[in-house]
Structure 1
């Protein structure tokens, strides 16, 4: 322990810490003190019991309905008591079921062209096929038709591209074999 510091010394007051500044231009906060109110006792572990509900008016034993300005009441038939029932209608969501006549989604055709003809076009066709299938299940006719048409076109292009590549490969192999023999 440092003998120059004593427990009996009082913490420095505002006259000593108000001249210092933080780099941001703010003054240094006051030092920590155990008691927020020096010389006064600390509050106890609990608070005195509080009453519940609205505070009573002076001179009245219970809540008294105040008169309305101009004598006009907001509801016909007198004031409404507290806890009056308010009916709220539930939100109704209208959902469509699956289409009665679903559009073809070309899913098998897309998987075939993806695996055996042209991978990039087959993947794109597969995405549109799945989109058409989802639209069929949600009942969205326009989206199902558009996705189905796009999947069919992509599948035809991928199949054509794959057939052209296969025919070119067979032709080149046949030419190389005839040259070598």
Structure 2
């Protein structure tokens, strides 16, 4: 399969001969296409920060996230994309922490309220003498 004329690393592919350069079926010159994609602008997470500030603001993390989001938006307007990316990243981390802590606090509150209501119902049944079991 390997003729003695060609060393193993120089075996032509797709039936080309050694003097041919370029794409099969095309011209012999090199053809390149360059696509320039603009980088995505950094995100400032302003809506998420506003929601965390208004609805779940444990340890003022929502306020801090809102401040960093505003700083990120200001940096983006000025044209400092790296600074905007850093402030946006900090706002994102603070939003994550505020959301997680707020969710945990809501869950614990629901568990406490449910437990208190069940204990109050049992206490009222014991006090009145009614036992529906």
Question: Does the alignment pair 1:143 with 2:83?
Answer: yes
* Bigger fraction of residues in helix: 2
Partner Cα separation in structure 1 for residue 99 and residue 73 of structure 2: 21
CA deviation after TM superposition for structure 1 residue 100, in Å: 6.7
Alpha-carbon distance, 1:101 to partner: 3.5
Q: Is 1:118 equivalent to 2:65 in the alignment?
A: no
* Alpha-carbon distance in 2 for matches of 1:121, 1:142: 23
1:163 to 103, 118, 123: 103
Q: Unaligned 5+ residue runs, structure 2?
A: 1-37, 122-133
TM-score by length of 2: 0.59
Larger C-alpha radius of gyration, 1 or 2? 1
> Offset at 1:118?
1.2
Question: What's the CA shift for 1:141?
Answer: 1.5
Aligned length: 83
Q: Larger relative CO (CA 8 A, sep 6+): 1 or 2?
A: 2
TM-score (norm 1): 0.44
Q: Which 4+ residue blocks in structure 1 deviate beyond 3 angstroms?
A: none
Pair 1:154 & 2:101 matched? no
1:142: how far off?
1.3
SS in 1 for 2:70: helix
Q: Which runs of 5+ in 1 are unaligned?
A: 1-98
